[in-house]
Structure 1
Amino acid sequence: MRFDLVPMPPTVQDRPRDDRGYPVPAITPWEDGEPRFARTDHGRSAECARERLCSVCRKLMPRGPVWRVVGAAESAAIGEALAAGRPYRNLAPTLEAPGHRACMLYASMVCPYLARPNARRGLTAEQPDELTEHVVRGAARGALGAVVGFADYEFAVTSSQVLFRFLDLVEYLPHDTADTHLEELRAELARS
């Protein structure tokens, strides 16, 4: 689905755009006047974590659930836990920051890497470590991503990273291709 056909949350409409018209998420760094979509700006991510701002639109997230988009491995782990009737709790930290439900549904559909299982990463992580060693140019997202809601999040700001942990699963919306979330996004926008 073309990104310009996906309904845009009002909070995203004021975000800066790249040359193609894609809105640039709040935590995306800029280099030489160009956004680097596959990377995360440490200072912006820390600000969003500390001030409870959405990582996509940079607007306040009210107390209560937060959402994020997950890749194939975490989506599979969540699906397996739910199918077995077990609670899902992942204590491993991630660099992926939370956001509003509408913003994450939107991001899952307009980001080429998040939207399709055969999409490939465009960049390799700048300084790969145990959290980013999978961020390699050409790596595919893999089958079954998901938009996932959690009751809350914890974070730690180190000198080089902002680490997040998500607590108490409240919603699991798996997708092979994210355009399956179109009606859910429309309904979420109508509620807000």
Structure 2
Amino acid sequence: MRFDSVPMPQAVQARPRDTRGYPVPAITPWTGEEPQFALTDYGRSADCARGRLCSVCNVLMPKGPVWRVVGATESAAIAEALAEGRPYRNMAPTLEGPGHRACMLYASMVCPYLARPNARRGLSADGSSELTAHVVRGAARGGTGAVVGFADYEFGITASQVLFRFLDVVEFLPHAAADEHLAELEAELAQRQPR
């Protein structure tokens, strides 16, 4: 599915675009006129964490659940915990902040890396952290990804990173290919923007 055929949340429509027309998430750093999609901007991420702003659209997230897109490893761990009736809490922090449900459904569908299991990363992260060492050009997403709702999040801001942990799964939407979420996104957008 082409990114420009995916219904866009209203708040994402206001985001700056790259030369191809992709909206640039709030936490994405820029080098000159080019967004660096494989990287996370420290200051922007810290602002989003402190202000409870969506990491995609930069609009306030109301109290209550937050969402994020997870890769194959975390998706499998969540699925296993839920199948066994166990709670899931990611004890390992992540650099990826939360967002609105509509924004994360949208991001899962338009980001080439998140959307398909055979997609490969186009860029490498800086590799200066254990958390980003696996973010290398050519790496495949693999397996089943998911859009996951959590009751809340917590964060820590160090001298060089903003770290997130997510609490209590409230929704688990796995996908092989993220276009499986099209009906969910359309329903969410019809209901209200953003959530």
How does the TM-score come out when normalised to structure 1?
0.98
Q: Cα distance, 1:129 vs. partner?
A: 2.3
More off after superposition, 127-136 vs 30-39 = 127-136
1:145 aligns with 2:120: no
Q: Cα distance, 1:63 vs. partner?
A: 0.4
Which ranges of 4 or more aligned residues in structure 1 deviate by more than 2 Å? none
Q: Cα distance, 1:128 vs. partner?
A: 3.2
Backbone CA RMSD of aligned residues: 0.7
Q: What is the aligned-residue identity percentage?
A: 79
**What is the total number of aligned residue pairs between the two structures?**
192
Alpha-carbon distance between aligned partners in 2 of 1:12 and 1:32, rounded to the nearest angstrom: 21
Q: Secondary structure at the match of 1:67?
A: strand
How does the TM-score come out when normalised to structure 2?
0.97
Q: Cα distance, 1:185 vs. partner?
A: 0.2
Instruction: Give structure 2 stretches of 5+ with no counterpart.
Output: none
Alpha-carbon distance between aligned partners in 1 of 2:32 and 2:89, rounded to the nearest angstrom: 40
Q: Secondary structure at the match of 2:4?
A: helix
1:98 aligns with 2:108: no
Partner residue in 2 for 1:154: 154
Q: Cα distance, 1:175 vs. partner?
A: 0.2
Partner residue in 1 for 2:108: 108
Instruction: Give structure 1 stretches of 5+ with no counterpart.
Output: none
Partner residue in 2 for 1:182: 182
Alpha-carbon distance between aligned partners in 1 of 2:166 and 2:157, rounded to the nearest angstrom: 15
Q: Cα distance, 1:169 vs. partner?
A: 0.6
Alpha-carbon distance between aligned partners in 2 of 1:171 and 1:147, rounded to the nearest angstrom: 8
Q: Cα distance, 1:164 vs. partner?
A: 0.1
Alpha-carbon distance between aligned partners in 1 of 2:42 and 2:171, rounded to the nearest angstrom: 28
Report Cα offsets for 1:109-134 as digits up to 9, x if no partner.
Answer: 00000000011111222133221111
